[in-house]
Amino acid sequence: MPVRTLKNILFVLVTLVWQSVFAQQPVFPAPVTPIGTVTLPQGSVAERSALTGRATIPLIDEDYAIGPQDLLRIEVFQVEDFSRSVRVSSRGQISLPLIGIMQAGGLTAAELEQLLAERLSRDFLQNPYVTVFIEEYTSQRVTIDGEVKRPGIYALVGRTSLLQAVALAEGFEKFADSRRVQLFRTHKDGTRETLFYDVDAIRKGELDDPMLKGDDVVVVQKRAFKSALRNMADALRGFIFFGGSL
């Protein structure tokens, strides 16, 4: 093969790879300073943090429905004998002193608090103050995929943040784009939301570390520039091998 032809082919390969770099390189939106933790009506708590300025992720998922094998911490103010941790059975039931067996599956923590307060005030206590904490979200799962060392489906044990999820997957791969990690979230009405997070900024404390919800899907893409360089190197190695075999 003439040298001039080889040079022309090499020029075309480099041009195509260079164009692919600019085509794939993500355009980052201007970062928005996270609001952090705010107090909402009825004492609810929410954390607002995202790079797009429109994402809202609750610090505690108030709509989370208690499921089988979840671990609950139930406390009644100034009634230590009643306060305890209980595991939800496979049928969604819990057993408590004074009350006995009751259904907890399918209820939110706030709904269970109200139900317990009604049961206790009916026969035993006057205006009881009941709190329910979900210590382990055993019935919930998250998926971590893409450029992590151990992609897979993981159970949520307690409140799990994005950084903790990355740690569960044993960290990023060499060419992972840690500045633009995708989080796909499906809401109860079936709508799907896509959020983007700069994990490098979260590690530096510049952004809050968002809490994950059950059925969240975290996807880590490759860095476009480094991936393109690697593709170019592979193409050149193949070209040199092919040219050398002529």
Secondary structure of 79-131 as H, E, C letters = CCCCCEEEECCCCCEEEECCCEEEECCCCCHHHHHHHHHHHHHHHCCCCCCEE
Q: Let me know whether 152 and 107 are in one domain.
A: no
Q: Residue 57 has what pLDDT?
A: 36
Mean pLDDT across the chain: 75
Q: Which of 90, 121, 136 is the last residue of a domain?
A: 136
Q: Residue 209 has what pLDDT?
A: 95
Residue 79's pLDDT band, with cuts at 50, 70 and 90, is confident
Q: Let me know whether 205 and 238 are in one domain.
A: no
Q: Residue 59 has what pLDDT?
A: 40
As a whole number of angstroms, the distance between CA 245 and CA 140 comes to 56
Q: Is residue 30 included in any domain, yes or no?
A: no
As a whole number of angstroms, the distance between CA 112 and CA 103 comes to 9
pLDDT, one tens digit per residue, over 84-118 is 999 999 999 999 988 899 999 989 999 999 999 99
Residue 64's pLDDT band, with cuts at 50, 70 and 90, is confident
List the CATH number of the domain containing 219: 3.10.560.10
pLDDT, one tens digit per residue, over 228-241 is 555 565 555 655 55
Q: Is residue 51 included in any domain, yes or no?
A: no
> 81: alpha, beta or left, given left = phi > 0 and alpha = psi -120 to 50?
alpha
pLDDT, one tens digit per residue, over 28-44 is 333 333 333 333 333 33
Q: Which of 109, 136, 163 is the last residue of a domain?
A: 136
Angle at which helices 3-24 and 224-244 cross, to 10°? 160
Q: Let me know whether 201 and 144 are in one domain.
A: yes
Domain span at 197: 140-223
Q: Let me know whether 116 and 129 are in one domain.
A: yes
Asked whether the predicted pLDDT for residue 147 surpasses 50, the reply is: yes
Q: What is the largest CA-CA distance in the chain?
A: 97
Q: Let me know whether 219 and 232 are in one domain.
A: no
Q: Let me know whether 75 and 117 are in one domain.
A: yes
Q: Is residue 31 included in any domain, yes or no?
A: no
pLDDT, one tens digit per residue, over 192-225 is 999 999 999 999 999 999 999 888 999 999 987 5
Q: Which pTM value belongs to this model? A: 0.52
As a whole number of angstroms, the distance between CA 207 and CA 198 comes to 8
As a whole number of angstroms, the distance between CA 186 and CA 167 comes to 23
Asked whether the predicted pLDDT for residue 75 surpasses 90, the reply is: yes
Residue 78's pLDDT band, with cuts at 50, 70 and 90, is confident
Q: Is residue 48 included in any domain, yes or no?
A: no
Q: Is residue 87 included in any domain, yes or no?
A: yes
List the CATH number of the domain containing 97: 3.30.1950.10
Q: Is residue 64 included in any domain, yes or no?
A: no
